[in-house]
Homo-oligomer: A and B are copies of this chain.
Amino acid sequence: MHSFTEENYLKTIYQLSTEDNNVVTTNGIAEVMNTKAASVTDMLKKLADKKLINYIRYQGASLTDAGRQTATEIIRKHRLWEVFLVEKLDFKWDEVHDIAEELEHINSKELVDRLDKFLGFPKTDPHGDPIPDRKGNIQQKPFVKISKMKPGEAGKISGVSEHTPVFLQYLEKSGLTLGTTVTIIEIMEFDGSIILNNQEKDLSISREVAKNLLVVI
């Protein structure tokens, strides 16, 4: 088995490599993980030795099949536990991330599969992120950032690309929860902020918010 630390690196590399296509940089990892570049380099060497990543000095890293498999298993566990926490234990969607961050390292395939069944084989977690299947396949939804939409277009809020409690709480307060349909009214030239209609009411959101709110059209 892999250590918690190794697992966290693999998860981060996975996430960064889907955002910025494929090759991941040392500094990129260091920033996300709140650590130093030197530490990242050490770990990249170790993961390369274990054949979990492809790594070329000064060039960056990408996951091998084995590495990707491990990464998606961790993400699967993270998201299933989040569903459990929200659906069964009545946590709010902004409270579950840190706890799931710990639970994702519990080691038992049997446990994961039984949890999956217990939850009724959910397809997405409480933030709209898709839950990988046992083999690591992820059903990617056709998410569109609100910031990319044009006036007149409408979409159903289906995901977020920021998972911090403050952001989620802001959405909650503004009624921008998963499943609600929004229509773009107007985009302000001055600062790119967007006025949209949400459940009969108009409201303005900043460009920053629009970038992190995902809809399905």
Binding site for B on A (CB under 8 A): 85, 88-91, 95, 98-99, 102-103, 106-108, 110-111, 114-115, 118
Enumerate chain B residues within 8 angstroms of A99, measured Cβ to Cβ: 106, 108, 111
Question: How long is the Cα–Cα vector from A114 to B96 in the complex, in angstroms?
Answer: 13
Contact partners of A111 in chain B: CB under 8 A: 85, 89, 99
Question: With contacts A88-B118, A91-B110 known, what are 11 further pairs, Cβ within 8 A?
Answer: A85-B111, A89-B111, A89-B115, A89-B118, A90-B114, A91-B114, A99-B106, A99-B108, A99-B111, A102-B107, A102-B108
* Count of identical protomers in the assembly: 2
CA distance A90 to B117 in the complex (A): 11
A119 to chain B, nearest CB (A): 10
Across the interface, which residues of B come within 8 angstroms of A114, CB to CB? 89-91
**Cα–Cα distance between A108 and B101 once the two chains are bound (Å):** 12
Residue of B nearest to A81 (CB): B106
Cα of A118 to Cα of B89 in the assembled complex, Å = 6
What residues on B are CB-neighbors of A98 within 8 Å? 108
Contacting residues, chain B, for A88 (C-beta < 8 A): 118
- A114 and B99 CA atoms in complex are apart in Å by 13
- Pick the 6 closest A-B CB pairs, nearest first: A89-B114, A102-B106, A99-B108, A89-B118, A99-B111, A88-B118
Min CB–CB distance A83 → chain B (angstroms): 14
Contacting pair A106 B103 (CB below 8 A): yes
Contacts of A89 in B (CB 8 A): 111, 114-115, 118
What are 10 A-B interface contacts by the 8 Å CB criterion?
A: A85-B111, A89-B114, A89-B118, A90-B114, A91-B110, A91-B114, A98-B108, A99-B108, A102-B106, A103-B106
